[in-house]
Amino acid sequence: MEFGMFHEFQRRPDQSEAEAFRESFEQVDAAEAAGLDVMWLAELHNSPERSVLAAPLSIASAIATRTRRMKIGIAVQVLPLCHPIRIAEEATTVDHISHGRLIFGVGRSGFPRTYQAYGVSYAESRERFAEVLEILKRAWTEETFSFHGRFYHFDDICLVPKPYQAPYPELRIAVNSPDTFQQAGEQGLPIFVATRLGNLDELVPNLRVYREAWAAAGHPGNGKVYLRVPLYIAATEAQARDEPRESVMFFYRYLGQRIEASATQEGARSLEMRAERGQRLMTIDYDEALRSKIVVGTPAMVVDRLSALKETLGLSGILAEMNCGMRIPHDRVVNSLRLMCSEVMPYFRD
């Protein structure tokens, strides 16, 4: 099973942007030294209270030059906000700088506010996503190509550089709604799933849809599923439960407010469901979060929980959110990361 750390380059309320970058890169260095498989980078915009990670491919390039072994993943590049030729060039450049260690995760993002900042209609996000993804694949695999769609028109384009990996970096796609599980299965793409909006139990029927679509399309294997999940490890059960509490609860209140607000924004779908989920997150208690959304405990407890999730969901890997809520102190994040690498990962090696 693959182990990754999902990183937002968090910024605590008392931190400068420079300090946020410094601490985050220290955690990257600690992950490389500890033997982590993948460092996953979010893409977040207009959130000064939360993150300085607005340009994941730029950060990926910096990580590539300071590491030698660990893979670098994008989770996810918001394709509808990208110019397809520019992002194709930047991704293949990172692929070369890292000597083929890039994993390129893609998605649409669930927040219309970011689209408004970029002057892009959220209502167009699905069609834009499909166009950009097709252009990326053609740019990476064809010597020259032309494309004429609703949003983009290109004639006789030759992308330079071509990918280091053949035919291109591994693609993974973030899915949330039942129809996107279906589409990802039909396309034969590995998927990211998460528990931020729903809970772990809700993933089971959606993964059934994904795998049935995968099989019906004739793809080999069973489809790869990677779970993004808040995870915290400490030496004792009491520490593991108590130390992240404030940060986790702050995050779900913060996320709930943003989701509820997004229900009134242009282009948002399932407005009643968004409002309901926002309210649920704002009122969730810690015990419920422990049961249905996060993984905390001693190394042995986390091994047991991840083993059960692997069996139930058929996981190929995890993206561990090790500072859910941005308020867990740096030294505790690093300690949790090292415990995961040294005392949890070995149990999942073939």
Give the pLDDT confidence score for residue 279 in this predicted structure. Answer: 87
Q: Are strands 145-148 and 153-157 parallel, antiparallel or unpaired?
A: antiparallel
| Count of domains forming the chain | 2
Please give the model's pTM, rounded to 2 decimal places.
Answer: 0.96
Within this chain, do residues 208 and 254 fall inside the same structural domain, yes or no? no
SS3 state of residue 234:
coil
Q: What is the pLDDT of residues 67-92, one digit of tens each?
A: 999 999 999 999 999 999 999 999 99
Within this chain, do residues 139 and 55 fall inside the same structural domain, yes or no? yes
Domain CATH code at residue 178: 3.20.20.30
Within this chain, do residues 163 and 266 fall inside the same structural domain, yes or no? no
Q: What is the pLDDT of residues 327-345, one digit of tens each?
A: 999 999 999 999 999 999 9
Within this chain, do residues 43 and 112 fall inside the same structural domain, yes or no? yes
Q: What is the pLDDT of residues 96-107, one digit of tens each?
A: 999 999 999 999
Give the pLDDT confidence score for residue 277 in this predicted structure. Answer: 78
Within this chain, do residues 149 and 227 fall inside the same structural domain, yes or no? yes
More confident residue, 219 or 267: 219
SS3 state of residue 337:
helix
Within this chain, do residues 175 and 232 fall inside the same structural domain, yes or no? yes
Question: Highest-confidence range of 18-27, 175-184, 270-279, by mean pLDDT?
Answer: 18-27
Q: Is the pLDDT of residue 271 over 80?
A: no
Confidence band of 259 (pLDDT split at 50, 70, 90): confident
Within this chain, do residues 184 and 328 fall inside the same structural domain, yes or no? yes
Within this chain, do residues 165 and 272 fall inside the same structural domain, yes or no? no
Within this chain, do residues 54 and 159 fall inside the same structural domain, yes or no? yes
Percent of the chain with pLDDT over 70: 96
Q: What is the pLDDT of residues 36-52, one digit of tens each?
A: 999 999 999 999 999 99
Contacts 24+ apart (CB under 8 A), 121-129: 121/266, 121/267, 122/265, 122/266, 122/267, 122/268, 123/266, 123/267, 124/80, 124/151, 124/267, 125/80, 125/267, 127/151, 128/79, 128/80, 129/79, 129/80
Can you give the residue range of the structural domain that contains 270? 245-290
Within this chain, do residues 266 and 336 fall inside the same structural domain, yes or no? no
Within this chain, do residues 249 and 207 fall inside the same structural domain, yes or no? no
Within this chain, do residues 112 and 192 fall inside the same structural domain, yes or no? yes
Q: How high is the mean pLDDT of the chain?
A: 94
The Cβ-side half-sphere exposure at 181, using a 13 Å CA radius, reads 18
The domain boundary, picked from 274, 290, 306, lies at: 290
